[in-house]
Amino acid sequence: MHAMHTGKFSRADFTGGTLRGLTGFACVIIIAIVAVIVGNIVYHGIGNLSWEFLSEPPRKHFTEGGIFPAIFGTAALVILMTIAVIPLGVATAIYMHEYASKRSRVVHLVRLAIQNLAGVPAIVFGLFGVGFFIEFVGRGLDRGLYGGALVYGQPAILWAALTMALLTLPTVVVATEEALRAIPQGYREVAYSLGATKWQMIRKVVLPQAAGGILTGGILAVSRGSGEVAPVMFTGAAYALPDLPSRLNDQFMELGYHVYVMSTQAFDVEATKPALYSTVLVLLLLTFSLNFTAIMIRARIRRRLRNGR
């Protein structure tokens, strides 16, 4: 699409072309930034990566050994988080899409709450975890069940997982809703015409059809949950632990928090660097592969929505 009036190369064309080039340059800068970050981390992190690094606990102020406790702790955290967030998020989406009428005030409110929950800073979730889960619920449990002994009124993997579940709730709701929208209305009508009750229809038609979307939401939530640090740094994550967490009120090590600890509190920065880079690489690979899987599933759902199958 060049100048309509051919012949002379006008001044407007020249400035237009330059400015248009500048917007293209902005794209190039963004792509370059991503390439530099990922490239730098892969380049420095790959050398130290080994089976030992993934399967051993850290030794000598993080300079030797590996990150197994952090991997284990992250896995335990996201499993607990998933158990909490998937039923809650899926039920919320089903309520908005299948139960309430589209224009009802309640749906509007729930949607507003979900959108705003997505915008709450991670550190505020951390504060909430301390103020609500540890101080209110945890201390309350201790007073009621354990005669005031300190059992649940302290940082614990359970509280970290529940805090993270609230943070990732919008992700699951949005992904599930998108999948629910992709289910043709006729499927529901057929179920009803066969005499199904609403719950039977949801269980036998809607949930299986929405499985892909729920999976997408779950994977994205796990990816988010394994990288976030601010919500867990006061609710359960620990610098270094001799034992793996085995009870709900144990503390745990987390990959993201481990990166923070190694980069800011290292005894000897230079000696820690190889292990630090490799930990970052592991975290990056984990979140990227999770995101990639989720994007692939989502793309399939969107195609289906477009084709109106």
Partner 1 sequence: MRNSGLLSGGAELTTVPKAGQPGDAADKIAAGLIRGSAFIAIASLVLIFVFIGKEALPVLTSPEVKEEAGLSQLFLPQQNRAGDTTEFNWQPISDTPKYSLLPLFVGTLKVTVIAVLIAIPLAVAAALYTSEFAPSWVREVIKPCIEILAGIPSVVVGFFCLMVIASWLQAAFGWTFRLNAVTAGIGLSLAVIPIVYTVCEDAFSSVPHAFREGSIAMGASAWQTASRVVLPAAMPGVLAACILGFGRAIGETMIVLMASGNAAVISWSPADSVRTFSATIAAELGELVQGSPHYHVLFFIGAFLFVLTFIINLAGRWWVGRLQKKLQGAS
Which 178-237 positions form the footprint of partner 1 (CB under 8 A)? Answer: 181, 184-189, 192-193, 195-203, 223, 226-230, 233-234
87 binds partner 1 (CB under 8 A): yes
Q: Between vectors from CA 81 to CA 178 and to CA 250, what angle results, nearest 5°?
A: 175
Of 174 and 215, which has the nearer Cβ to partner 1?
174
Site string for partner 1, 109-128 (x = CB under 8 A): xx-xxxxxxxxxxxxxxxxx
6 binds partner 1 (CB under 8 A): no
**Shortest Å distance, C-beta 154 to partner 1:** 11
| Span 241-300, contacts to partner 1 by CB under 8 A | 256-257, 259-260, 263-264, 273, 276, 280, 283-284, 287-288, 291, 295
**Shortest Å distance, C-beta 258 to partner 1:** 9
| Span 290-309, contacts to partner 1 by CB under 8 A | 291, 295, 305, 308-309
Of 21 and 246, which has the nearer Cβ to partner 1?
21
- Give the distance from CA 109 to its chain's centroid: 24
Of 151 and 246, which has the nearer Cβ to partner 1?
151
**Shortest Å distance, C-beta 297 to partner 1:** 14
**Shortest Å distance, C-beta 17 to partner 1:** 7
56 binds partner 1 (CB under 8 A): no
Angstrom distance (rounded) from CA 167 to CA 111: 15
Among 8, 11, 102, 105, binds partner 1 (CB under 8 A): 102
Angstrom distance (rounded) from CA 64 to CA 123: 31
Asked if residue 204 lies in contact with residue 196, where contact means CB atoms within 8 angstroms, the answer is yes
Among 42, 48, 64, 95, binds partner 1 (CB under 8 A): 95
Angstrom distance (rounded) from CA 287 to CA 90: 22
Angstrom distance (rounded) from CA 173 to CA 305: 18
- Hey, what are 301's tokens? 């759902």
Asked if residue 48 lies in contact with residue 258, where contact means CB atoms within 8 angstroms, the answer is no
- 301 strand-pairing partners: none
**Shortest Å distance, C-beta 162 to partner 1:** 10
Of 110 and 248, which has the nearer Cβ to partner 1?
110
- Give the distance from CA 156 to its chain's centroid: 20
Of 103 and 247, which has the nearer Cβ to partner 1?
103
**Shortest Å distance, C-beta 139 to partner 1:** 10
Cβ-count burial of 233 within 10 angstroms (0-12 exposed, 13-18 middle, 19+ buried)?
buried
Asked if residue 170 lies in contact with residue 221, where contact means CB atoms within 8 angstroms, the answer is no
Of 181, 151, 142, give the one whose Cα is nearest residue 247.
151
76 binds partner 1 (CB under 8 A): no
20 binds partner 1 (CB under 8 A): yes
Angstrom distance (rounded) from CA 158 to CA 44: 35
Cβ-count burial of 2 within 10 angstroms (0-12 exposed, 13-18 middle, 19+ buried)?
exposed
Can you point out the beta strands (E) in 168-299?
none
Of 121 and 208, which has the nearer Cβ to partner 1?
121
144 binds partner 1 (CB under 8 A): no
